[in-house]
Structure 1
């Protein structure tokens, strides 16, 4: 029997190295079909999983409580597995060059515990060549084994979209690759256990690495185009969202919208490709231009906020601004590389006092990464401007009248309570105020309704 059959018969185990937003859902999915060891160097994280808590909110506490994944931070347990999946982050440094520290460290840890007959599959996003040129030598050095003889490697780029309940591991075609045909076949069959959409066998490991890195580069460029259009149309006093809705009636118009581009993928992956291109003597034109536009959007939004506040006769130094949402995208606790922080830093340069509300964000990560504390929505009162930066589902229930109250001394009151007491004098709700600045980054509200309600309204 080969390794695939041994896994199906539960005679061999699968290990997941890295239990974050990508690795943990993969471990849980495989645990329905095989014996799985879930390893992470963060003992606090593995203890949370053991206690039935899902800090990523990707699968939920109930699923974690019932999964058979054997969570551990003991690296020696990796010796029990023969099929290893490495799913650790691949960030960039401050100078936008690849930071391969996590994947190199994971390779060292796995190498120390690698046994003969194993297959190692990397899922981390990298530039073409990292698996074979950087990771394999580390595995060989630490294990004393020979790649291609004692163990085999492959690459299968992760495509999980954090916070997305529709496009999941099971429903997205999985690209797989292996160093030889036999390895490729085993890797494909193993992933077919959990991927209902099926697998696509890439021609080589480098092809699979390249395919992944261009997926997010393509999205980054398209969003950069939308952001540039937004800048242009705002100067023309044309509503960008209205333009895109009109253009979107054509069958082949691509459905992208302007916004802040952060997170661990779209805002990072293009730099991996351009870094490798520079090494080969080619300086990127389009990719880096798109990156610059997207990286500058936080500053642009902050400056636009200040201009609208001046238009509303606000004193900028000492002004109070509430920001709703600080995660890198909606409906996820993930704050890694969030570009909302760029908006905050720029506004603070003007002497603005910032309050941040986000019921989804991971408070500990937010404090550790950015030294930012969250406020409760009830604390938002006496504001000079309100910025809706991330369209969490929780925020979509907020009505324009609720927002208006955030500018008064009473502060936010939900619609149900407000309707009950609107006739009393207990609440400060001056609907006729014309100095309330509402910055709606993702177009959550209706422009006409916002302007009719008396807001100084702006959106990308």
Structure 2
């Protein structure tokens, strides 16, 4: 209890390790109440924060300019803190096994600078057992201290939703756990300083770890079901959104929608759970089936784009497709684990040239991670198909009539085609549907697009 009092009275400092889309908002929130050291090994990112720039766009430049967070890339500064929050990424490898290297590295860094009487709280999404079985031994080895005697640990899974301005740290119930009752009480009281809606005290660290990993597994499975329905209904020539709108009138219908499932949470976390299950001799059925469906959706979208282009009598090899939106979700610059890349790669396999239009995406990350560059919307022209992959706010003001100007086939050509058909008596004549529009997220309405002359398709 002395620690929480000292933190509130600013006699002790807390540190946040990892200043990304999760760690930085946590640091900023705490800094409104107590003294905070924000640590990250990325010196460029730290300097951006010091310069008052928010590269994540989670809180904005003005907030960064006015925060009291002490940003640093000097690990020795961690010695000044007694309460540490570790918020680093936990990705998966190409074979879908957990990649704990960032978490292990952060644990080693913290261990080298850990002092007696400290509490360490991990926020990274992991499978049950990682905190106590992997992180604690590293902390002990690097620090020479004994867990339970010289320092304590806890786990409080992050629930921040990048790009979501409504559900923030302050108004999302925080799950907290500790290795013993005293530690749990301290951790709970620290988080209660910034979480207005309160905390939920989990029975154990493993319970809290499990709770987090199933949250996103549940969403993943539900979205996979929607994606499978979309595949089925497309074969039936039924509009999936119309079906979901009708079904959604029932009070207990879960309102999920089909789409690409990427990012550092939903598309990743289920693999942590299935990995641990495999270690225990159980092969997941539902979770992995859902993962396979969702992982294949980018290829599915690309294949249907090509089919639409073929029906429009387009030459596929050498054609050009404009993809609007590349980030893993709307209104965030984060391109990590975006499944839009699956569409890009599949189209390239067909010999299609792809242009990316995304005013929100972090262009440096886009280049480093995928070797791609963004095209300015004013420079997009002579494309054979358009794909709206992400529903950024910037795209919601797009005009369907103006969009026609980016196609090889202009509105004038379509008008001439209509006139030609009207002049014939052949009732079987069809318009060559040149305006192929793939609208994954439903940026435009189906009727609106079709009335405007588009060859429209969506999940």
TM-score in same-fold range (> 0.5): yes
Q: Deviations over 1:25-68 (max 9, x none)?
A: 00000000110000000000000000000000000000000000
Shift in Å, 1:431: 5.6
Q: Partner residue of 1:298?
A: 298
Shift in Å, 1:405: 1.3
Q: Deviations over 1:286-332 (max 9, x none)?
A: 00000000000000000000000011111100111000000000000
Structure 1 residues 72-221: aligned runs within 5 Å: 72-221=72-221
Give the conservation status (yes or no) of the 8 Å contact 1:13–1:80: yes
TM-score (norm 2): 0.95
Q: Partner residue of 1:326?
A: 326
Distance in 2, matches of 1:261 and 1:96, equals 15
SS at match of 1:83: strand
Shift in Å, 1:197: 1.0
Distance in 1, matches of 2:88 and 2:248, equals 37
Distance change in 2, residues 1:366/1:429 (3 Å):
farther
Give the conservation status (yes or no) of the 8 Å contact 1:53–1:60: yes
Q: Deviations over 1:377-415 (max 9, x none)?
A: 0111111000000000000000111211111489xxxxx
Distance in 1, matches of 2:398 and 2:133, equals 52
Give the conservation status (yes or no) of the 8 Å contact 1:404–1:431: no
Q: Partner residue of 1:450?
A: 449
Structure 1 residues 418-433: aligned runs within 5 Å: 430=413, 432=415
Distance in 1, matches of 2:351 and 2:394, equals 29
Shift in Å, 1:449: 1.4
Structure 1 residues 42-441: aligned runs within 5 Å: 42-408=42-408, 430=413, 432=415, 434-441=433-440
Shift in Å, 1:430: 4.8
Distance in 2, matches of 1:129 and 1:267, equals 21
SS at match of 1:145: coil
Shift in Å, 1:453: 1.1
SS at match of 2:330: coil
Q: Deviations over 1:237-294 (max 9, x none)?
A: 0000000000000000001000000000000000000000000000000000000000
Distance in 2, matches of 1:230 and 1:216, equals 21
Q: Deviations over 1:349-387 (max 9, x none)?
A: 000010000000000011110000000001111110000
SS at match of 1:28: helix
TM-score (norm 1): 0.95
Q: Partner residue of 1:417?
A: none
Distance in 1, matches of 2:327 and 2:148, equals 42
**How many matched pairs?**
443
SS at match of 1:114: coil
Q: Partner residue of 1:414?
A: none
* Aligned-CA RMSD value: 1.0
Distance change in 2, residues 1:409/1:244 (3 Å):
closer
Give the conservation status (yes or no) of the 8 Å contact 2:112–2:142: yes
State which drifts further: 1-10 or 37-46.
1-10
**Which 5+ residue runs of structure 1 have no aligned equivalent?**
411-427
Distance in 2, matches of 1:409 and 1:25, equals 46
Distance in 2, matches of 1:158 and 1:344, equals 31
Distance change in 2, residues 1:7/1:340 (3 Å):
same
SS at match of 1:457: strand
Shift in Å, 1:429: 5.4
Q: Partner residue of 1:459?
A: 458
Distance in 2, matches of 1:12 and 1:186, equals 13
State which drifts further: 145-154 or 431-440.
431-440
Distance in 1, matches of 2:402 and 2:93, equals 41
Distance change in 2, residues 1:170/1:140 (3 Å):
same
Q: Partner residue of 2:421?
A: none
Distance in 1, matches of 2:195 and 2:5, equals 17
**Which 5+ residue runs of structure 2 have no aligned equivalent?**
418-432
Give the conservation status (yes or no) of the 8 Å contact 1:220–1:267: yes
